[in-house]
């Protein structure tokens, strides 16, 4: 391996943020000579390609790959970047986000000193204009840095499933041929869960190492598209993720991943303004298997309104479910983006 860390960045129409993202890596305290950046331009229509070329000309440890078309979501671009990565460890950064100046050193020191396969760390959200939210996503006083032993790995599944905020052993990824799903949402959740299920040791770092930009328009952020295709595609991804846990004999851990994503998906379904009444009914049928797992896995949620809504779906009372969606969506219009984000996280789950 030539470098300590390879950082893969999928890029799509990110000219406004790309310089900040790349410079946050160039200025790392670990020393930029220890880092390889792999920038994968996924068919951008703006000046992102020119920005990539500018950095490639200046730095020999920055690789630029220009795909001839957009492949929808980041899976294909990330898989392409991993193939070119020569680092001992892999990290992933989205092109509109950036990392703390000490992120690489903190993550590298944690993964090597603990002889771990994966380290996952804390992060903060920020508004589209770069205003950082006050609180870290995980309370640093409550969640201390630790090794996630078998009994405590439930935390990993309740944690953000993104491939960002993590460092992975390249050997683990390559030897197990771990890939991102391509062309569907939750592609990085599939990757992270695949890696964890193959890992022997995982650690959590309480440090905030990553800053995640919440962009609220569908043309730039796939997590905000939430049309019928989004839910159909995420349904496919969730089935593939379920198979991972089933094949590994780890359904007990799947319960924690499921509980978090049940809440998140339900709120996305509620908040969506891009699906019609008829499409909602079709999607409830399509996702029935997923919602029905709340009963088969014996999941009890703190948010009673969400439980009622999901019970309507499980009982196939779809019209009542739609009425509940309308009421909850109306109440959520009075919430800030921070409040919405926090309510989509598990508050109290009985498993």
220 is a domain residue = no
- What phi, psi does 20 have (nearest 5°)? -60, -40
Q: Among 288-292, 308-312, 336-340, which stretch is predicted with the lowest mean pLDDT?
A: 336-340
Distance CA 288, CA 285 (A): 5
Query: What is the dihedral angle through the alpha carbons of 213, 229, 258, 215, rounded to the nearest 10 degrees?
Result: 10
Per-residue pLDDT at 150: 56
**Do 93 and 167 share a structural domain?**
yes
Q: How confident is the model at residue 350 (pLDDT cuts 50, 70, 90)?
A: very low
Per-residue pLDDT at 156: 61
**Do 111 and 168 share a structural domain?**
yes
CA-wise closest residue to 201 among 105, 255, 120:
120
**Do 256 and 209 share a structural domain?**
no
For residue 324, is pLDDT > 60?
yes
Per-residue pLDDT at 216: 63
**Do 177 and 52 share a structural domain?**
yes
Per-residue pLDDT at 349: 42
264 is a domain residue = yes
Per-residue pLDDT at 127: 92
333 is a domain residue = yes
Q: Among 23-32, 142-151, 170-179, 304-313, which stretch is predicted with the lowest mean pLDDT?
A: 142-151
In terms of pLDDT, which residue wins out, 149 or 162? Answer: 162
Query: Mean per-residue pLDDT for 89-93?
Result: 98
- What phi, psi does 213 have (nearest 5°)? -90, 120
- Give per-residue pLDDT as tens, 6-22: 999 999 999 999 999 99
**Do 136 and 160 share a structural domain?**
yes
CA-wise closest residue to 144 among 191, 174, 110:
110
33 is a domain residue = yes
Query: Mean per-residue pLDDT for 309-334?
Result: 95
Helix or strand (DSSP H, E) at 120: strand 118-126
Per-residue pLDDT at 6: 98
67 is a domain residue = yes
- Give per-residue pLDDT as tens, 124-135: 999 999 999 998
Query: Mean per-residue pLDDT for 74-90?
Result: 97
Query: What is the dihedral angle through the alpha carbons of 181, 44, 125, 333, rounded to the nearest 10 degrees?
Result: -90
For residue 116, is pLDDT > 90?
yes
For residue 306, is pLDDT > 60?
yes
Last residue of a domain, one of 213, 233, 263: 213
Per-residue pLDDT at 259: 86
Last residue of a domain, one of 180, 213, 246: 213
Cross-strand partners of 95: none
- Give per-residue pLDDT as tens, 204-244: 999 999 999 987 654 444 445 689 999 999 999 999 999 99
Question: Which residues form the domain of 283?
Answer: 225-350
> What is the maximal distance between C-alpha atoms in the chain?
61
Helix or strand (DSSP H, E) at 39: strand 35-42
**Do 146 and 38 share a structural domain?**
yes
**Do 56 and 194 share a structural domain?**
yes
- Give per-residue pLDDT as tens, 157-202: 556 688 999 999 999 999 999 999 999 999 999 999 999 999 999 9
In terms of pLDDT, which residue wins out, 246 or 225? Answer: 246
Per-residue pLDDT at 123: 95
**Do 73 and 44 share a structural domain?**
yes
Distance CA 171, CA 76 (A): 20
98 is a domain residue = yes
Per-residue pLDDT at 71: 85
Per-residue pLDDT at 347: 45
> In sequence order, which residues have a C-beta less than 8 Å from that of residue 337 and are 6 or more positions away?
127, 214, 216
3-state secondary structure of 64: strand
218 is a domain residue = no
- Give per-residue pLDDT as tens, 40-61: 999 999 999 999 999 999 999 9
């Amino acid at each position: 391996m030539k470098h300590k860390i390879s950082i893969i960045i999928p890029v799509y129409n990110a000219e406004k943020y790309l310089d900040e993202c790349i410079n946050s890596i160039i200025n790392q305290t670990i020393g930029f000579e220890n880092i390889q950046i792999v920038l994968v331009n996924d068919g951008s229509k703006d000046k992102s390609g020119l920005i990539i070329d500018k950095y490639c000309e200046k730095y020999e440890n920055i690789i630029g790959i220009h795909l001839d078309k957009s492949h929808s979501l980041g899976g294909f671009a990330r898989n392409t970047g991993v193939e070119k990565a020569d680092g001992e460890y892999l990290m992933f950064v989205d092109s509109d986000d950036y990392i703390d100046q000490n992120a690489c050193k903190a993550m590298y020191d944690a993964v090597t000193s603990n002889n771990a396969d994966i380290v996952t760390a804390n992060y903060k959200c920020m508004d589209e204009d770069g205003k950082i939210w006050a609180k870290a996503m995980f309370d640093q006083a409550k969640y201390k840095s630790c090794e996630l032993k078998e009994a405590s790995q439930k935390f990993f599944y309740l944690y953000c499933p993104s491939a960002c905020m993590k460092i992975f052993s390249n050997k683990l990824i390559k030897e197990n041929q771990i890939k991102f799903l391509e062309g569907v949402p939750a592609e990085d959740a599939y990757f992270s869960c695949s890696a964890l299920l193959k890992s022997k040791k995982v650690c959590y770092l309480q440090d905030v190492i990553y800053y995640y930009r919440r962009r609220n328009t569908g043309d730039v952020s796939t997590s905000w598209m939430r049309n019928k295709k989004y839910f159909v595609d995420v349904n496919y991804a969730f089935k593939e993720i379920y198979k991972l846990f089933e094949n590994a004999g780890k359904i007990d851990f799947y319960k924690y991943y499921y509980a978090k994503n049940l809440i998140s998906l339900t709120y996305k379904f509620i908040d969506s303004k891009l699906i019609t009444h008829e499409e909602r009914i079709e999607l409830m049928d399509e996702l029935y298997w997923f919602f029905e797992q709340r009963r088969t896995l014996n999941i009890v949620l703190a948010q009673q309104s969400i439980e009622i809504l999901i019970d309507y779906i499980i009982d196939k009372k779809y019209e009542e479910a739609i009425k509940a969606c309308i009421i909850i969506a109306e109440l959520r219009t009075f919430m800030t983006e921070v409040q919405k984000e926090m309510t989509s996280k598990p508050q109290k789950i009985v498993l």
